[in-house]
Amino acid sequence: MPKESVGYAILREWIQRGSPPPNPNDPQVVELTVTPARVTLKVGTKIELRVKARFADGHERDVTTWARYDTNSGAIITVDESGAALARGSGQAAVSAAYQNLVAAVDVTVPFATSE
């Protein structure tokens, strides 16, 4: 984690406060959405995913940089830790974004090239 990153600053501050456990009164995440929810891409196309969390108290927060990403087919689409997804091959796949205890998915279609 780079020293100049927001994540580093948050972690450093938490450690300086004595690494307290989560506060049971903190609002819990009740919904997670990732956009786009469905996408059709050409091989070689890159898109940036965005992840939004809605909390029990009603507020929403962009958690794109804090989400964890995975794909069910790296041969079709890959995704990095920042949510940048790259279409690598033709077919259908899913990309999942997880934050705290929730997961949202993107359905990805990469059509086969046609010869015209």
75: buried, middle or exposed (CB in 10 Å: 19+, 13-18, 0-12)? exposed
Q: What are 17-52's pLDDT values in tens digits?
A: 999 998 888 899 999 999 999 999 999 999 999 999
Rg (CA), the chain: 17
What does pTM read for this prediction? 0.84
Q: Look at the alpha carbons of 80, 83, 86, 90 in this order and tell me if their dihedral is positive or negative.
A: positive
Question: Is residue 6 over pLDDT 90?
Answer: no
CB-CB contact of 51 with 104 (8 Å):
yes
Mean pLDDT on 46-67: 96
Mean pLDDT on 50-64: 96
pLDDT value, residue 15: 94
Which is nearest to 73 in space by CA: 85, 56, 57? 85
Which is nearest to 90 in space by CA: 108, 110, 113, 107? 110
Question: Is residue 116 over pLDDT 70?
Answer: no
